[in-house]
Amino acid sequence: MSRIEALDRRYAASSSLIRHGVEIVAVADPAGARLNAACRQLMLRVDEDGPGLWDDLLGSVKSLRWRLMTHPQPIDLNPALRDGAAEVIRQTRRLRGAVEQDSLLDELAAAAEGAIAQDPALGAILLRSAEEVGANDCVVVAANASARAAMGEWLRPQGVSVLTASSLQRAKPGIEQSYAVGPPRFFGPSLVTAPTTDAVSFLMPAWFRDRQIPHSVLAPYAEGAIRVKARLFVEGDPTEPKFQVEDEEEFEKELLPQPIWGSPPSPGREASSDEVEARKLLLSGNRGLWLDNGERIRALDPGQPSGERVVYTDVEAVRVGTYLLLREGESEPNALYEAALDRLGQRAAEVEATQREWKQRLQRRLRQMGPWRAERELWSAGVKTAERARAWCEPNLVRPQSDQDFEKLLQWLDLPIQPSFANATLLRRETHRTSVHIREQLETAASAADLSALERNGHLSIDIESGGFRGILAARVIAISPHTEIVPRNEARVPFEDRSGQWLE
């Protein structure tokens, strides 16, 4: 199919959805409805008592509630649901005797046990719908990569493809029907405003209250914006306890698993030469990462063919769902720098000396003059990327990218161009060669790794031959902080233990 034909199919699919709308299939789920009701009771209790004591129990209940909506496979093939229920029960036992009334704990434990007492009703409806349409004419859309991996193991023998919403956008048009497992709010607007399939259905438990179809944030302000209507179908008897809250939509947001970021830092302070401004990322496997505003970071794309999975991605392009490749205990730039020096052999001492000389002199100038005045003078001296001056002080940023900028910088520092220019260029070349060598080894290791386990669990250890790069971690980004903080430079891009996102997976 040519690009023009594919585009025509996209327009045809969009036109079809605008005319006919999407389907929302609300499936009665008594066991899930019981857990949902208990979760709402717990939320009201937390509002009364305040957070702290209830945090872990509430997090585990929210997580199990989310899995009931997104992991519909049979219990025997559903470790996420079994583990989630076991964790809720464990947390209720931990609180025994610590709270005044045990009745809510009893109800939560019973609801968790009931959630895994039989196969999810949602799964039976999904399998029946796929069989009616035909395995080759439909695709199942998962809420995230872990749900995709789990449903894939179940549906692959049936010949049904399972994708995430983002991977569906890259698929070739022509598929008749997509079944999105979860409420519409779990998926981006593009699933309905730029559809790949001719028809879209959302399969969700009837007890989830919010059934609004997602739309672009610009839709309220745009003339002729695409607004897709929904047709509701109910499977079974969705009778459940009723709770009245003032803002149901906002309450549903609070019922979803949430990251813990803490209070944003006070504004005003600038990073020192040994610090960096960074944004906190939560990673799968109870890890965190401080990601600075550097240019690139190494990532892994499991959807690419073998030999093309290890990539560099722009820091600004890192999103929830991105798989980052990180070195345990030390940032990759540090390891690359040391490995490149090793490759220089006897030249290493001379290169280190000239690098240290111009970087220390630049650091002194910045400290004496202040960064803003120094940048202005560098601009006047002809350095076109003067705003990068503070970054050039970092040991791992070998030299300015532009030869002319580097020459002008050395002149501004009252240093001879040689041998600093030649030594820095040599080090940059060896760093690049080392990076290419590491990438080749990572590609080989990634090709041999169990990428289905990576998508299912969210993280995977990858070992390569280079000693300085043992302990490579591939980890999925599960949350990104809305604010930046100032952290020590040596802590940036080094994964660390962090349980703030333990209920997000």
User: The domain spanning residue 192 has which CATH number?
Assistant: 3.40.50
Residue 139 lies in a domain: yes
Would residue 360 count as lying in a domain? yes
CB 398 within 8 A of CB 428: yes
Whether 157 and 207 map to the same domain: the answer is yes
- What confidence score (pLDDT) does residue 19 get? 74
Query: Do 346 and 426 lie in a common domain?
Result: yes
User: 205 and 347: one domain?
Assistant: no
- CATH of residue 314: 2.170.16
437 in a domain, yes or no? Answer: no
Structural domain range at position 56: 30-115
Instruction: Examine the fold and report which residue of 115, 141, 158 is the final residue of a domain before the chain moves on.
Output: 115
| Domain edge (last residue) among 115, 147, 173 | 115
Pick the last residue of a domain from 431, 464, 486. 431
Residues 84 and 47 in one domain: yes
* Together in a domain, 331 and 381: no
- Same-domain check for residues 65 and 22: no
The per-residue pLDDT for 470 is 61
From 24, 106, 66, select the one nearest 255 (Cα to Cα): 66
Shared domain for 89 and 179, answered yes or no, is no
Q: Is residue 319 assigned to a domain?
A: yes
The secondary structure of 441-501, three-state, reads HHHHHHHHCCHHHHHHHCEEEECCCCHHHCCEEEEEEEEEEEEEEEEEHHHECCCEECCCC
Residue 347 φ then ψ, to 5°: -75, -10
Question: Which residues of 341-465 form beta strands (DSSP E)?
Answer: 459-462
Question: What token pair was written down for 104?
Answer: 């809510």
* Residue-level pLDDT at 169: 78
Domain contains 264: no
380/329 same-domain check: no
Q: Quick check: is 297 in a domain?
A: yes
Q: CB neighbours (10 Å) of residue 6?
A: 14
The tokens for 462 are 């990858």
State CA 458 to chain mean position distance. Answer: 10
CA-based nearest residue to 435, from 446, 447, 443: 443
Number of domains into which the chain is organized: 4
Residues 352 and 328 in one domain: no
Same domain, 138 and 228: yes
Contact between 160 and 175 under an 8 Å Cβ cutoff? The reply is no
Per-residue pLDDT of the chain (505 residues), as tens digits, is: 566 665 666 656 666 666 777 899 999 999 999 999 999 999 888 888 777 788 899 999 999 999 999 999 999 999 999 999 999 999 999 988 777 767 899 999 999 999 999 999 999 999 999 999 999 999 999 999 889 999 999 999 999 999 998 888 777 767 889 999 999 989 878 888 878 888 899 999 999 988 888 766 555 555 555 677 889 999 988 776 665 555 666 677 778 888 877 777 766 677 776 788 899 999 999 999 999 887 789 899 887 888 888 888 999 899 998 999 888 777 777 778 888 888 899 999 999 999 999 999 999 999 899 888 999 999 999 999 998 888 898 887 899 999 999 999 999 999 999 999 999 999 999 998 888 888 888 888 888 888 888 888 888 888 776 655 666 889 999 999 988 888 888 888 889 999 888 888 7
Say whether both 280 and 382 belong to one domain: no
Residues 16 and 125 in one domain: yes
